[in-house]
Amino acid sequence: MNTHTDQAKRILAANDRGGYTVPTDRLYPFQWNWDSAFVAMGFALYDIDRAYRELERLVEGQWADGMIPHIVFHAPSETYFPGPNVWRTNHTIPTSGITQPPVFAIALRKLHEAAGKGAEERILPLYEAALKWHRWWYSARDPEGTGLVALLHPWESGSDNSPAWDIALARVPTTTDTPVVRKDTGHVDADMRPRDEDYRRFIHLVDTYAACGWDPAKQWEKASFKVAEIQTTAILLKAGEDLEHLARLLGRTEDAIEIAALNDRSRRAMMAQWRPDLARFVSRDLISGDDVEAATQAGFIPLLSLDLDRQVAEALVSEMKVWSKDLKVAFPTTKPGIASWEPKRYWRGPAWAIINWLLIDGLKRNGYTDVAEELRQSTIAAIETEGFAEYFDPVTGQGCGGLGFSWTAAAYLWLE
Ligand code: 2M8
């Protein structure tokens, strides 16, 4: 067996805390939402039971209104901030109060395909959970029915300190009721993490929403950060396609019709976010009404769930090539060379294996198999050279952030 494959499996085993997988030891000692969806797809390649278990444990944290939180605090740990006492969600199993990109249903379809016939019984409760969450997105995060879902916190994007948030986040005050006692910078170099000021704004938003009793309508009203986001909507649409597929398979015709209508709505709304002059799709800041023009990876993720016209796809892929030119590792999360680009600082420039995974699937969907193959090889080479790091400096190739990282291991298994 390829020694790296073996190593990837050992990382997933080492990060297992009893049916769920932590992203990495100490830095992230709980179960994270989209991390677990990627990890489940990794497990599905060799241990289908464990793959299902990962999603089942995540669903333990689902709220009555359908939201699946971004963190489930299954067991206490002192190595992470903010913990359950900061979130104050009063959920039976402690959880955070915000969500994360809905990769769950995408994973569920993959698990079902890996499990083969006869797996319907196990998949049913997970399908129900995914559908409930899907409905939550459209009701809580798109109350006006635009087809684009909004994020109320940068952590919900998974791309926490992306330049995409610079303008919107600057409006959020730096004052907090909760003392900000960071733990992350004790585990990894502070230059690789969000800045203190970002953390104060992150926690200001948590305080605001906790004061709303985590009621979605109140949060919507009080939010000083509200972005109708293109990457999340693109992932939601792919999740919607996979959910519709599962609904038909399970004989849930009415569900399938309902989901298909939501998919259509998002498909149309996303197309309206294409900006030919930027050669990217854009998010919309719902507080200012402006396009989010920051040059980040989010603008390319619609490849994953749209069958693009040739002209649009060509422009998008040419722009991707410009961004990747002369880099050791593709694909950068911020356009190289622009003022906000920081090749080592977290979501402000580095290459991430899971983003590449989404882009590779999107490139293949749109017929760019060669470009997808190049990106796949770049990702594999980065991991084989530097190990299973959280992310990679695209210029030097250096593995950065946490090590022995679960979603990098899952991505390796899937892409290798
Ligand atoms: C990072 O985010 C967490 C907050 O959710 C943090 O920095 O404390 C992000 O990379 C996010 O996308 C990821 O899910 C999480 C765990 O890997 O870490």
Ligand 1 contact, 405 CB (< 6 A): no
Ligand 1 contact, 104 CB (< 6 A): no
- The protein residue with its alpha carbon nearest to ligand 1, atom 3, reads 155
CATH code where residue 162 lies? 1.50.10.10
Atom of ligand 1 nearest to the CA of 33: 14
**HEC profile for the chain?**
CCHHHHHHHHHHHHCECCCCECCECCCECCEEHHHHHHHHHHHHCCCHHHHHHHHHHHHCCCCCCCCCCCEECCCCCCCCCCCHHHHCCCCCCCECCCCCCCCHHHHHHHHHHHHCCCCHHHHHHHHHHHHHHHHHHHHHCCCCCCCCCEECCHHHHCCCCCHHHHHHHHCCCCCCCCCCCCCHHHHCCHHHCCCHHHHHHHHHHHHHHHHCCCCHHHHHHHCCCCEECHHHHHHHHHHHHHHHHHHHHCCCHHHHHHHHHHHHHHHHHHHCCEECCCCEECEEECCCCCEECCCEHHHHHHHHCCCCCHHHHHHHHHHHHHHHCCCCCCCECECCCCCCCCCCCCCCCCECHHHHHHHHHHHHHCCCHHHHHHHHHHHHHHHHHHCCCCEECCCCCCEECCCCCHHHHHHHHHHC
Could you give phi then psi for residue 338, rounded to 5 degrees?
A: -75, 165
Measured in angstroms, how far is the CA atom of residue 406 from the centroid of ligand 1?
Answer: 12
Are 22 and 29 spatial neighbours (Cβ–Cβ below 8 Å)?
yes
Q: Which residue has the higher pLDDT, 356 or 118?
A: 356
Classify residue 23: in a domain, yes or no: no
Predicted local distance difference test score (pLDDT) of residue 117: 74
Atom of ligand 1 nearest to the CA of 159: 12
Atom of ligand 1 nearest to the CA of 100: 14
- The protein residue with its alpha carbon nearest to ligand 1, atom 11, reads 158
* Angle 242-247-253 from CA coordinates, rounded to 5°: 135
Ligand 1 contact, 32 CB (< 6 A): yes
Q: How far is 336 from 342, CA to CA, in rounded Å?
A: 8
Ligand 1 contact, 209 CB (< 6 A): no
Atom of ligand 1 nearest to the CA of 35: 14
Range of the structural domain that residue 56 is part of: 29-320
Residue type, 197: E
- The protein residue with its alpha carbon nearest to ligand 1, atom 4, reads 155
Choose which residue among 12, 28, 98, 408 to substitute to test ligand 1 binding: the one with the highest number of ligand atoms within 8 A of its C-beta: 28
* CA-only gyration radius of the chain, Å: 20
Per-residue pLDDT tens for 309-342? 999 999 999 999 999 999 999 999 999 999 999 9
Ligand 1 contact, 28 CB (< 6 A): yes
Ligand 1 contact, 198 CB (< 6 A): no
Ligand 1 contact, 38 CB (< 6 A): no
Contacts 24+ apart (CB under 8 A), 59-65: 59/125, 59/126, 59/129, 60/93, 61/31, 61/91, 61/93, 61/95, 62/129, 62/132, 62/133, 63/91, 63/95, 65/136, 65/140, 65/216
Are 132 and 62 spatial neighbours (Cβ–Cβ below 8 Å)?
yes
Classify residue 228: in a domain, yes or no: yes
Predicted local distance difference test score (pLDDT) of residue 1: 66
Per-residue pLDDT tens for 98-137? 999 999 999 999 999 999 877 788 999 999 999 999 999 9
Ligand 1 contact, 35 CB (< 6 A): yes
Q: What percent of the chain has pLDDT over 70?
A: 100
Per-residue pLDDT tens for 272-304? 999 999 999 999 999 999 999 999 999 999 999
Token pair for 212: 């709303």
Measured in angstroms, how far is the CA atom of residue 396 from the centroid of ligand 1?
Answer: 23
Measured in angstroms, how far is the CA atom of residue 32 from the centroid of ligand 1?
Answer: 8
Q: How far is 364 from 374, CA to CA, in rounded Å?
A: 12
Ligand 1 contact, 97 CB (< 6 A): no
Beta-bridge mates of residue 60: none
Per-residue pLDDT tens for 386-412? 999 999 999 999 999 999 999 999 999
Q: How far is 400 from 416, CA to CA, in rounded Å?
A: 21
Classify residue 180: in a domain, yes or no: yes
Classify residue 367: in a domain, yes or no: no
Per-residue pLDDT tens for 220-270? 999 999 999 999 999 999 999 999 999 999 999 999 999 999 999 999 999
- The protein residue with its alpha carbon nearest to ligand 1, atom 7, reads 160
Q: What percent of the chain has pLDDT over 90?
A: 98
Ligand 1 contact, 30 CB (< 6 A): no
Q: How far is 219 from 214, CA to CA, in rounded Å?
A: 7
- The protein residue with its alpha carbon nearest to ligand 1, atom 9, reads 158
What ipTM describes this predicted complex?
A: 0.99
Classify residue 281: in a domain, yes or no: yes
Classify residue 342: in a domain, yes or no: no
Q: Is the pLDDT of residue 2 over 90?
A: no
| Number of domains composing the chain | 1
Residue type, 391: Y
Q: Which residue has the higher pLDDT, 120 or 58?
A: 58
Number of other CB atoms surrounding residue 410 within 10 Å: 31
Predicted local distance difference test score (pLDDT) of residue 33: 99
Surface-to-core class of residue 179, CB atoms within 10 Å of its CB (0-12 exposed, 13-18 middle, 19+ buried): exposed
- Interhelix angle for 120-140 vs 253-271, to 10°? 40
Atom of ligand 1 nearest to the CA of 80: 8
Is the bond leading into 202 cis (omega within 30 degrees of zero)? Answer: no
Atom of ligand 1 nearest to the CA of 34: 14
Token pair for 107: 């994973």
Classify residue 101: in a domain, yes or no: yes
Token pair for 225: 């950060």
pLDDT average, residue stretch 188-217: 97
